[in-house]
Chains A and B, each alone.
Chain A
Amino acid sequence: EDKVVQSPLSLVVHEGDTVTLNCSYEVTNFRSLLWYKQEKKAPTFLFMLTSSGIEKKSGRLSSILDKKELFSILNITATQTGDSAVYLCAVGSGNTGKLIFGQGTTLQVKP
């Protein structure tokens, strides 16, 4: 059965800290891995990774995929209170729109 596992499930840090969120997967016919941020309702897109070893960056956020070891990490440097959210990892399988989501990591950034 396909599965996506995120760790840790929750994290509390202080502003300015650097955090690393983990996502491991066992999915047949892997196509892509996506990271989303969910604050209130709509998950907002962060990154989509398809190739191993290529880092994607957007400001203080970055992510990398290891297709051999079947995992991805999401790094957030110099955290701010606005980074407080649930971070979701999802894996796309085959040529379909189905995404398999992990449980999410709840990040709380304290002032």
Chain B
Amino acid sequence: KAGVTQTPRYLIKTRGQQVTLSCSPISGHRSVSWYQQTPGQGLQFLFEYFSETQRNKGNFPGRFSGRQFSNSRSEMNVSTLELGDSALYLCASSWDLGRRYTFGSGTRLTVV
């Protein structure tokens, strides 16, 4: 079965712009989580969704937001981009909360 699909794979944006990243989980998976990975901070939890509800949020500013649709697909949005937002954004899905998570290949965001 298809894995976790993230689009786009690469993105270059200018400071101050906003960006939307997409994640399609494995079919049947209802839980989707998002992580930011940088060389300095490693993988940091952004938020998780289960059945269209945000269940948990990490310690990121309000410029980072997300949502989940009825088909479990998820999007995350970053507004007013800053240079420090440059990172690999990873999405992970699981059939239920607290279970084994499968990661997508990520979206590499570069802010210039």
Interface positions of B from 1 to 40, Cβ below 8 Å from A: 3-4, 31, 33, 35
Residue of A nearest to B96 (CB): A97
Contacts of B90 in A (CB 8 A): 41-43
Contacts of A41 in B (CB 8 A): 88, 90, 105-106
Query: What does the 1/0 interface line of B82-112 toward A look like (CB < 8 Å)?
Result: 0000001010101001101111111000000
Residue of A nearest to B33 (CB): A97
Contacts of A94 in B (CB 8 A): 98
- The stretch that binds B, out of A28-36, A51-59, A64-72, A74-82, is A28-36
Q: How many chain-B residues does the 8 Å CB contact rule pick out?
A: 27
Q: Report yes or no: B97 in contact with A95, Cβ–Cβ below 8 A.
A: yes
Contacts of B56 in A (CB 8 A): 96-98
Residue of A nearest to B42 (CB): A103
State whether A96 and B55 are in contact (beta carbons under 8 Å apart), knowing that A44-B103, A45-B102 are contacts in the complex: yes
Residue in contact with B101 in the complex, picked from A31, A99, A103, CB distance below 8 Å: A99
